[in-house]
């Protein structure tokens, strides 16, 4: 049995999921697991295509904080979160709604993450196994073959990639089966790889024009560290330019290339991440939280919070509480 499929069949029951025979089409490798009523609500659906790839659709939430720990088989994946609240570890990454997560597994690593209670985890993902990208894809491309793992490593969580998000949303809304499902999903996997490989080539060309040196990386990280500790205040680009030893244009270009988003969005996400924490662990009013994370007007805070999380602050607090 494939390592990925074996992992699913062990991990899902351990997490409180129960195979729903009525919503599964086992002879076509479509499986739907319902979350037990003691642990939460919702489902985890996946389509397993031989030893080639897996399509996942998640829509559930836990009643209590859930800590996940599992081995990491050799695969590459891309996931889009419509809704989520939690953190991954090693390396540490905060999970945010309306964002992409790109992942390269293997090397005997262990995956760890925590998901916050009562916040829906809604996502769509594609996981691609070595038989697909090492054998099938290599045979299909011949001398033009490019190892997609390197391209996946070049993308980061939250990266701005509207074409890929649109493709994943198409998969989310598809509900076919039989031969048409095989053709549809295989086509979307190939299209996903094409988009990511094309983005990697564009990034490579861009980096050749204006390479990011080791010193640039250190300076960009210093900028991010400064923002991380001062996001609740007004931060001027001029101040960041001084920290980075870069001009305005170079800083903006390199920051987006290195972190996958522009400076303004980076600041907003830091503010909203902190606001989520304050909504969970304090009884501060919405206006007080807005001021604490850098917004003078609660209306502006609520607008940005809704844009990032899909919920208004009061709705988010109500769900969590």
**Predicted confidence (pLDDT) per residue in 117-126, tens digit:** 888 899 999 9
CATH of domain 3-207: 2.60.120.10
Give the pLDDT band of residue 45 (cuts 50, 70, 90): very high
Residue 91: is the preceding peptide bond cis (ω within 30°)? yes
Which residues, 6+ apart, have CB-to-CB distance to 188 below 8 Å?
126, 167, 170, 171
Residue closest to 88 by CA, chosen among 136, 53, 121, 134: 121
The model carries a pTM of 0.76
Please, how many CA atoms are within 13 Å of residue 77, restricted to the half-sphere of its CB?
Answer: 20
Where does 147-245 have alpha helices with state H?
A: 148-153, 162-173, 178-209, 214-230, 237-244
| Residue 31 structure tokens | 């499986």
Looking at residue 180, its pLDDT comes to 94
- Its sign, for the CA torsion 220, 156, 101, 14, is negative
* Per-residue confidence (pLDDT) for residue 321, from 0 to 100: 65
Say how far apart CA 67 and CA 205 lie, in whole Å: 40
pLDDT-derived band at 158, boundaries 50, 70, 90: low
How far is 194 from 198, CA to CA, in rounded Å? Answer: 6
Percent share of the chain, pLDDT over 90:
55
Highest mean pLDDT pick, 124-138, 139-153, 305-319: 124-138
Tokens of 40: 């939460």
The H-assigned helical ranges of the chain are: 3-14, 130, 137-141, 148-153, 162-173, 178-209, 214-230, 237-244, 248-259, 263-281, 286-292, 298-309, 313-320
Task: Indicate if the pLDDT at residue 218 is higher than 80.
Answer: yes
CATH 1.10.600.10 fits 265-320, yes or no: no
- Report d(CA 63, CA 38) in Å as an integer: 8
The Cα–Cα gap between 174 and 169 comes to: 9
How many of the other CB atoms lie within 10 Å of CB of 116? 21
pLDDT at 207: 59
Compute the distance between CA of residue 85 and CA of residue 104 in angstroms, rounded to an integer: 21
Tokens, residue 283: 């009884």
Poorest-confidence range of 11-15, 93-97, 205-209, 244-248? 205-209
């Amino acid at each position: 049995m494939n390592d990925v499929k074996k992992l699913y069949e062990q991990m899902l029951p351990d997490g409180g999921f129960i195979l729903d025979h009525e919503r599964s089409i086992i002879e076509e490798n479509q499986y739907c697991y319902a979350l037990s009523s003691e642990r939460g609500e919702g489902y985890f659906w996946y389509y397993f295509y031989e030893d080639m790839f897996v399509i996942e659709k998640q829509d559930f939430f836990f009643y209590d904080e859930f800590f996940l720990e599992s081995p990491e088989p050799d695969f590459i994946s891309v996931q889009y979160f419509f809704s989520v609240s939690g953190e991954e570890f090693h390396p540490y990454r905060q999970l945010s709604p309306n964002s992409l997560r790109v992942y390269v597994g293997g090397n005997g690593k262990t995956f760890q993450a925590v998901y916050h209670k009562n916040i829906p985890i809604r996502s769509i993902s594609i996981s691609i196994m070595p038989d697909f990208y090492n054998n099938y894809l290599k045979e299909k491309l011949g001398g033009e073959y490019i190892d997609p793992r390197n391209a996946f490593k070049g993308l980061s969580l939250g990266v701005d990639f509207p074409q890929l998000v649109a493709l994943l949303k198409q998969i989310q809304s598809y509900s076919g089966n039989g031969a048409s499902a095989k053709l549809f999903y295989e086509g979307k996997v190939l299209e996903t790889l094409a988009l990511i490989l094309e983005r990697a080539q564009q990034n490579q060309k861009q980096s050749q024009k204006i390479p990011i040196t080791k010193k640039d990386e250190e300076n960009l990280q210093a900028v991010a560290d400064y923002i991380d500790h001062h996001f609740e205040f007004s931060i001027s680009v001029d101040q960041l330019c001084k920290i980075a030893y870069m001009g305005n244009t170079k800083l903006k270009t390199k920051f987006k290339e290195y972190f996958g988003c522009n400076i303004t969005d980076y600041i907003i996400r830091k503010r909203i991440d902190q606001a989520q924490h304050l909504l969970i662990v304090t009884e501060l009013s919405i206006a007080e939280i807005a001021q604490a994370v850098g917004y003078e007007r609660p209306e502006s805070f609520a607008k940005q919070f809704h844009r990032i999380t899909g919920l208004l602050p009061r709705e988010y607090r109500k769900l969590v509480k």
